[in-house]
Amino acid sequence: MRIGLAINYAGGFKDVAAEVAELERAGLDIVFVPEAYSFDAVSALGYLAASTERVQLASGILQLYTRTPTLTAMTAAGLDYVSDGRFTLGLGASGPQVIEGFHGVPYDAPIARTREVIDICRQVWRREYLQFEGKHYTIPLPADQGTGLAKSLKLVNHPVRERIPILVAALGPKNVELAAEVAEGWQPLFYLPEKAPDVWGKALATGRAKRDPALGELDVYANPMLAIGENVEPLREFAKPQLALYIGGMGAKGKNFYHALATNYGYGPEADRIQELYLSGDKDGAAKVVPDELVRDISLIGTPQFVKERLAAFRESGVTTLNVVPLASTRSERIKLIEILRELAA
């Protein structure tokens, strides 16, 4: 099982890069750079590529709507080049709150767009003369819509790899099915091992049945918070504000993927109450309603024995990479946590 973590996108790059270099020496396998409504992820990924040697780098995630498919492919090829083939392209639809509320772009057809973006990226990396006619993207434009020169182009540079791994962040069944069909990896959020087969099993099986064997086995990424020790259980409270934000605030009623996920996990009434409180402005009250059992089961926060047991549950459910969030206040403590986790996961 690979060990990874996501950098803090609210901070700067320089201190983070120095810490990632130390984490690399401690055994970290992959580092994810989020892109929400902060600094862009690409700048940080390029910075990390120059300051690390072995650790894999991933966008976690680039939103579908904020770059053209071809620019996404060009960016991925560039990052793979400067990292000597260590880049994974993490893609996702994000949600209306970010796409419409921050970027001012309509949030539409996430599943169809995901498929088309992936198809175009792989054409670009193979250096084919680009020809694509989809429902949402047509390249090149017909002469009567463009400049009159409907001529195909191909990437000038030779990519390090013509098949850069693609990771799709997805929660809904149709999007999960698509990830299992066409991507190298799938990343859900708030992954609960015991409930995963009930929530996603059918979608994963359907997607895998249509999967090209050349893609290999599907990598499954989970994102648990991490704290290991004899008296760390109170740190589970730190997970609740984030869960309240997503379940309660990432979308309106009826349009919140995370609320639907909590409901599918069996916490429907609690999810309704979290959303009601959060949307009314009572964020603290919403956090208090987050069930203790939900936090416990999606996290790696507890004694070494507890964490080892939970690692077994994640592994048994199909998780291949843990993208952890260390709950530690200093660099040395975070590095120590990764070292301990590496030992427990061995």
The residue extents of the domains of the chain are 2-226+299-345, 230-298
Query: Once rounded to an integer, what is the mean pLDDT over residues 150-169?
Result: 94
How high is the mean pLDDT of the chain? 95
pLDDT of residue 199: 97
Confidence grade of residue 147 (pLDDT, cut at 50, 70, 90): low
Dihedral of alpha carbons 59, 65, 69, 70, sign:
negative
Confidence grade of residue 99 (pLDDT, cut at 50, 70, 90): very high
Contact assessment for residue 120 and residue 91, using Cβ atoms and an 8 Å cutoff:
no
Query: Once rounded to an integer, what is the mean pLDDT over residues 313-326?
Result: 97
pLDDT for residue 9 is more than 80: no
Pairing of strands 62-63, 225-228: unpaired
Cα–Cα separations (whole angstroms), residue 54 to 181, 263, 267: 29, 40, 41
pLDDT for residue 149 is more than 70: no
pLDDT of residue 235: 98
Global pTM reads: 0.94
Helices (DSSP H) in 183-227: which residue ranges?
196-209
CATH superfamily to which 2-226+299-345 belongs: Luciferase-like domain (3.20.20.30)
pLDDT for residue 297 is more than 70: yes
Tell me the three state secondary structure of residue 160. coil
What percent of the chain clears pLDDT 70, i.e. is strictly above it?
A: 98
pLDDT for residue 146 is more than 80: no
- In this structure, the dihedral spanned by the alpha carbons of residues 233, 317, 204 and 240, taken in order and rounded to 10 degrees, is 0
